[in-house]
Amino acid sequence: MLNLENFPWLTFTIIFPIIMALLIPLVPDKGDGKIVRWYSLVVGLIDFSVLVYAFCTKYDFSKPGLQLSETYAWVPQIGLNWSVGADGLSMPLILLTGFISTLAILASWPVTLKPKLFYFLMLAMFGGQIGVFAVQDMLLFFFMWELELIPVYLLLSIWGGKKRLYAATKFILYTAGGSLFILVAALAMAFYGDVPTFDMRALAAKDYPLTFQLFAYAGFLIAYGVKLPIFPLHTWLPDAHGEATAPVHMLLAGILLKMGGYALLRMNAGMLPDAHVYFAPVLVILGIINIIYAALTSFAQRSLKRKIAYSSISHMGFVLIGIASFTELGTSGAMLQMISHGLIGASLFFLVGATYDRTHTLILDEMGGVGQKMPKIFAMFTTCSLASLALPGMSGFVAEVMVFVGFATSDAYSDTFKVVTVILAAVGVILTPVYLLSMLREIFYGAENKELISHEELIDAEPREVFIIACLLVPIIGIGLYPKLMTQVYDSTTSSLVSTLRAAVPALANKPVGSPLGFLQPSLTHNTATLVAPALSNVE
């Protein structure tokens, strides 16, 4: 009888879809993809079900440390281990990955071009993306980070739009170039000190000098800034979204962007807290630029996909502000914003794909009045857009309010800096409903485009499409009405992380006035006196 107490839950959920992907060439299929798509969907459902079971029975919300931990020697000569585990930072994103990936496979039903290769890539990404959030070895993290590059490149270059090769090449150049900074910083951290190690907990426990931390933090910030994405490293995203198909959209918006935010929390903030104190104001400023620049740029977009893509960039600005807030509420808001946007972004881009399948155009000027022919798609598109513009009762509203209040009540920044930041971020919040509601008006309202209607059959949403959106709206509304549904999963971990970050401030508060800590108030030193006593013994 199988002993479930010692079952390698996370290892199984990473390896299982990859192994099943390798078996796809053996799946009998007539070339239309009907069998292989059902095969892939069953694999996705099994893997997601195992994730949910492990989460419900083996994960304890109250523990901030790693759970479901597994460690196996892999290449002992260089200290490389297969080490996986989950805590409050990773578990919600692991569940999100399984959920979105399974729905993305269901969204792939219309794919008929090279279906075996397509579903092979989808399942390979399924396991690789879970691996990014689960692995606890820095070198293994780098391998998992790289694993998803090739599938995305192929999914864009084979099944994308007219400029698919340009978009795919730009994606691979940006992300692969950024990955070099991960490798350099990770190796530097691993070989610093007497005992080389790639274990993340051991790396976080090392006593790095401030200069070393600043360089490592800068390297990580560039790499993860590409993926998040942060201005000016964002330009690959609108091009990739502009050419991707609906299921690839869902993976890009729902999961890939969250890898950057997760890594900033896990490595930049968690492993390099002293450097985070110096970079925190920079993150706030970059977050403001993301919010306002992307919102304004979205106004100018006449392509439906690019408009939603810039909306995603704008929403990620709140993640940066929350990470830099030095408060539990702000950090919790950053986590919730990643989860919320994963759900909302996936729903919007799926509906963009569904609309394109019917109208065969992405240009807003060529649409108009299609809501009369497609009332179900109109209703779903409107609901998901309202969630994106942070309507009260939806998850986006709760996440953005938490970031706002968390930053506004932070004792780490001067009142002037907080006021300016909140006002500028509020400008982005005001712009979002303007361009989203304007988008809805141009697509669904007004006079019908006679030429479009005469050439295209505008059929309404089919049951599969309604089911996918319903699955996404349930957690969006559920979290909006009862945020604790999600926040309780990671509160203990984010609380521990914020304590570490706040403890780093007194150790650096005596630096010269001209340092970036000019933004910070001395009051933080007094408010965290009880937290910093252990840290002071390590200050040089």
Calpha distance 73→137 (Å, rounded): 11
| pLDDT of 500 strictly over 80 | yes
What pLDDT does 456 receive? Answer: 67
Helix (H, G, I), strand (E, B) or coil at 110: coil
- Residue 461: phi, psi to the nearest 5? -65, 140
Residue 505 has pLDDT above 80, yes or no: no
CB contact at 8 A, 43 and 16: yes
d(CA 535, CA 64): 19
DSSP H helical ranges for 191-302: 200-205, 210-227, 236-243, 246-251, 257-263, 270-271, 273-300
Contacts of 237 by beta carbon, 8 Å cutoff, 6+ apart: 229, 252, 257, 309, 312, 313
Residue 515 pLDDT greater than 50, yes or no: no
- pLDDT tens per residue, range 161-194: 888 999 999 999 999 999 999 999 999 999 888 7
The per-residue pLDDT for range 62-95, each reduced to its tens digit, is 888 899 999 888 877 777 889 999 999 999 999 9
Distance between CA atoms of residues 421 and 33, nearest Å: 51
> pLDDT at position 532, please?
32
How is 285-323 classified by DSSP, letter by letter?
HHHHHHHHHHHHHHHH--BHHHHHHHHHHHHHHHHHHHH
* Cα(19)–Cα(77) distance, integer angstroms: 26
pLDDT tens digit sequence for 25-70: 988 877 677 899 999 999 999 999 999 999 999 998 888 889 999 9
Q: Give mean pLDDT, residues 350-375.
A: 85
Q: What phi, psi does 66 have (nearest 5°)? A: -70, 140
Helix (H/G/I), strand (E/B), else coil: 161: coil
Neighbour count for residue 525 (Cβ, 10 Å)? 18
- Pairwise CA distance, residues 317 & 315, whole Å: 5
pTM of the model: 0.91
68 three-class SS: strand
pLDDT at 205 over 70: yes
| Res 538 pLDDT > 50 | no
Amino acid making up residue 499: S
**H or E stretch including 147?**
helix 138-147
**Per-residue pLDDT averaged across 296-301, rounded?**
88
Q: What does the pLDDT average to over 384-392?
A: 92
pLDDT (mean) for 358-378: 84
